[in-house]
């Protein structure tokens, strides 16, 4: 309505609002960090809203001012995992120009993420896998920067380069992803259940896996 230049009061109001917004984001962040810490300690099943609140000196209900509900907070924890995961894959992608080595590098990066973030991995891909979509949506990385697409691109380019046989790239990507996911998820779950299944054996298995994939997919 008022089209004249902003008055001093208007400017102050704006900055004040900005400051309050910033403060709000800060406490939101504090809650989130406490939640992450708690998740690292207690895992998915032991994660408790009330304990998170207690750890940072808030009443449980206060959390609801910053997150819709427990799921929403847990998703925020998860989301950070997705970001790191994508970054790890992206880094592997970027630092390996050769299409063949690139596929291997992606598999290794995948493995390393799983082994170093076991709880996150389980939540992201085993307990709440619906969130994969929501995570890439909320970071508008739908188009070409989500973790799935990174792997898909690597497959496409490996096909172009003649490193692996031609075929439906989506199917091949799913095949490769399934394989490495199987190894990682069993590695996290089956310690002491499968014979020969400590961390070094798992790494060795990934070595065999990439070799075998290379042979199996050769043009």
Partner DNA sequence: TGACAATAATAACACTGTAAAGTAGATTGG
Partner DNA sequence: CCAATCTACTTTACAGTGTTATTATTGTCA
Shortest CB 202 distance to a copy of itself, Å: 9
Stretch that binds a copy of itself, among 78-86, 100-108, 113-121, 123-131 (CB under 8 A): 123-131
Q: CA 151 to CA 20: how far, in whole Å?
A: 41
Interface with a copy of itself, residue 179, by CB under 8 A: yes
Measured between alpha carbons, how far is 34 from 47 in angstroms, rounded to an integer? 11
**Contact indicator for 150, 108 with CB cutoff of 8 Å:** no
Fill in the per-residue mask, 67 to 86: x = in contact with DNA (CB under 7 A), - = not in contact: --xxx---------------
Question: Which listed residue (57, 130, 144, 200) binds a copy of itself by CB under 8 A?
Answer: 130
Work out what residue 130 binds among a copy of itself, DNA, none; the CB cut-off runs from 5 to 8 Å by kind. a copy of itself
Beta-carbon contacts of 93 under 8 Å, excluding residues fewer than 6 positions away, are 102, 105, 106, 150, 153, 154
Contact flags string 158-177 toward a copy of itself, x per CB under 8 A: ------------xx--xx-x
Q: Token pair 């403060």 is at which residue? A: 23
Contact predicate 81/117, CB 8 Å: yes
Q: What is the rounded CA–CA span in Å between residue 41 and residue 47?
A: 9
**Residue 49 touches DNA, criterion: CB under 7 A:** yes
Residue spans of alpha helices (H) in the chain: 8-46, 49-55, 70-94, 99-116, 118-122, 131-138, 147-160, 169-189, 199-217
Two structure tokens written together for 64: 């609801």
Q: Which does 212 bind (CB under 5 to 8 A by kind): DNA, a copy of itself, none?
A: a copy of itself
Our CB check for a copy of itself shows the closer of 65 and 170 to be 170
From 60, 112, 115, 139, residue interacting with DNA (rule: CB under 7 A): 60
In whole angstroms, how far apart are CA 106 and each of 10, 100, 109? 52, 10, 5
| Residues near DNA (CB under 7 A) | 9, 12-13, 16-17, 20, 23-24, 27, 47-51, 57-62, 64-65, 69-71
Q: What residues make contact with a copy of itself under the rule CB under 8 A? A: 125-127, 129-130, 132-133, 148, 170-171, 174-175, 177-183, 185-186, 189-190, 192-197, 201, 204-205, 208-209, 211-213, 215-218
């Amino acid at each position: 309505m008022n089209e004249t230049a902003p008055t001093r009061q208007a400017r102050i109001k704006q900055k004040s609002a900005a400051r309050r917004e910033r403060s709000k984001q800060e406490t939101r962040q504090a809650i989130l960090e406490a939640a992450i810490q708690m998740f690292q300690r207690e895992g998915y099943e032991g994660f408790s809203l009330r304990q998170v609140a207690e750890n940072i000196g808030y009443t449980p209900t206060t959390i609801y001012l910053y997150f819709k509900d427990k799921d929403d907070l847990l998703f925020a924890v998860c989301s950070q995992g997705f970001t790191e995961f994508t970054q790890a894959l992206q880094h592997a992608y970027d630092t390996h120009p050769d299409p063949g080595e690139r596929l291997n590098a992606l598999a290794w990066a995948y493995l390393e993420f799983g082994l170093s973030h076991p709880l996150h991995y389980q939540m992201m891909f085993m307990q709440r896998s619906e969130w994969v979509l929501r995570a890439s949506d909320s970071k508008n990385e739908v188009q070409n920067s989500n973790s799935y697409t990174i792997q898909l691109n690597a497959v496409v380019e490996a096909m172009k380069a003649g490193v692996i046989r031609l075929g439906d790239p989506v199917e091949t990507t799913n095949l490769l992803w399934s394989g490495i996911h199987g190894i990682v998820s069993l590695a996290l779950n089956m310690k002491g259940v499968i014979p020969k299944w400590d961390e070094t054996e798992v790494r060795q298995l990934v070595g065999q896996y990439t070799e075998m994939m290379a042979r199996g997919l050769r043009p």
